[in-house]
Amino acid sequence: MTKGLAGIVAGETKISATTGGRLTFAGYTIEQLNAMDLSFEAIVYLLWHLRLPSESDLNRFCQILSEQMFLPEHYVRILTEMIRPGEQHPMSLLRSGMSLLGTLMNDQAQHPIAIMAKVPLVIGTIIRLQNGLEPLQAKPELSYPANLYYLSTGKVPDAETEEVFTQTLILHVDHEFNASTFTARVIASTNSDYFSSLTGAIGALKGPLHGGANERVYQMLQTIVENQLDPEKFVANELSEGRKVMGFGHRVYKDGDPREKILKKYAKSLAIKTHQEVWFDTAETVEKYMWAEKHIIPNVDFYSATIYHCMGFAGRDFTLLFAASRSAGWLAHIAEQYSQHTLIRPNSKYVGPYHADIAGDVVNS
């Protein structure tokens, strides 16, 4: 038995892989896809259909997405009643918001593309209501990433911001059997519905050892930058107190997270563009120190925190952005799990005492 199922192959997938430290989506490396400069929608199509879309496939896909970008009646009103600005964690609201969406969307409408289309609206609505602002309607002429940005910030992104945001969302979209995706698959394996799987996955992503790490990275960098602390001394103190440094370490990648290498490039260019070099420089100092002292690598949540900050998002909303992207990956995995018709139900090793005869064995307590 291995701790936390490390190294255990728990099922088969054609969607993504991390073989040999390379991340692939349906067989394409993320470096290949990054060089092809594809849209987020094209990558989602790839994950869902296991092939890149033709131009007409993509146009049709984007058209349906845009037609489905509306929320069910009463949704915003119920969410408005639930929200107490500043009191609830945005990921708790997303968890409830996803569940509510499933309750208000009728069964026929529960198709992956219709669900995915509503995610930016749910997230934008949560962000805006938490800030005391009116929720916005999606703009059909915008891409999925640009709509997510617009619905959350109220601004249409400029071309460079949209490009960086798109690539950042692509790099978060799928990652084989990570904790939230596995959660989604376990729920789907019982033949439960899409929304139950997505709600469970959001709960798993929220945790600081998974997607919630990006918010903690923000808090760490903010503490260092705003108090003009020495990054090395700060991190040394964290380690000496036995605390984990957020945004570092990975269950699968031990020599480098391929996503982080691409994100670092974008983090640097965006920090320069927005005159927030201190955020990038601080992050890089922390990275170098962690490598020199512990040989631990930054993961996807590390430089994405600098990117989202430089784009103007609040730190507490960072994990929502991860969820906006990963939802498309979860939907791919839920559909694949349904097609496999297999209940996921492992065994456990019982380590407590017995108080009765088991199969004729002598009671041991």
Query: Applying CB under 6 A, which residues contact ligand CMC?
Result: 4, 178, 209-211, 213, 244-251, 294, 296, 299-301
Q: Closer CB to ligand CMC, residue 113 or residue 296? A: 296
215's CB contacts (< 8 A; 6+ apart) are: 208, 305, 315, 316, 318, 319
* Amino acid residing at 83: I
Residue placing its CB nearer to ligand CMC in the complex, 102 or 207: 207
Beta carbons of 297 and 255 less than 8 angstroms apart: yes
Cα–Cα distance between 341 and 307 in angstroms, integer? Answer: 40
Residue type, 32: Q
Name the catalytic one among 172, 301, 317, 333: 301
| Residue 248: strand, helix, or coil | strand
Query: Of 118 and 210, which has the nearer Cβ to ligand CMC?
Result: 210
> What backbone torsions phi and psi does residue 83 show, to the nearest 5 degrees?
-85, 130
116 or 245: CB nearest ligand CMC: 245
Residues 337 and 334: their CA atoms lie apart, in Å, by 5
Shortest Cβ 249–ligand CMC spacing (Å): 2
- CB closer to ligand CMC, 180 vs 337: 180
CA angle 110, 171, 182 (to 5 degrees): 55
Q: Map residue 325 onto helix, strand or coil.
A: helix
Residue 85: alpha-carbon gap to chain centroid: 23
Phi, psi torsion values for 248, nearest 5 degrees: -125, 150
Give the Cβ contact number of residue 165 at 10 Å: 25
Please report how close the Cβ of residue 302 comes to ligand CMC at its closest, in angstroms: 7
Decide whether 139 or 244 has the Cβ nearer to ligand CMC: 244
Report the alpha-carbon distance of residue 322 to residue 304 in Å, rounded: 9
Nearest residue to ligand CMC, scored by beta-carbon proximity: 249
CB of 13 to ligand CMC, least distance (A): 17
Task: Select which of 250, 309, 317, 333 is catalytic.
Answer: 250
Pick 121 or 290: Cβ nearer ligand CMC: 290
Phi-psi region of 137 (alpha: psi -120 to 50; beta: other; left: phi over 0): beta
- Least distance to ligand CMC, CB of residue 102, Å: 24
Tell me the closest approach of the beta carbon of residue 28 to ligand CMC, in angstroms. 21
Q: How many residues does the chain have?
A: 365
Alpha helices in 274-299 (DSSP H): 277-294
Does 250 participate in catalysis according to the annotation?
yes
Distances (CA, A) of 350 to 2, 67, 353, 354, 362: 15, 51, 8, 9, 16
Two tokens at 4? 């936390």
Which residues are designated catalytic?
250, 301
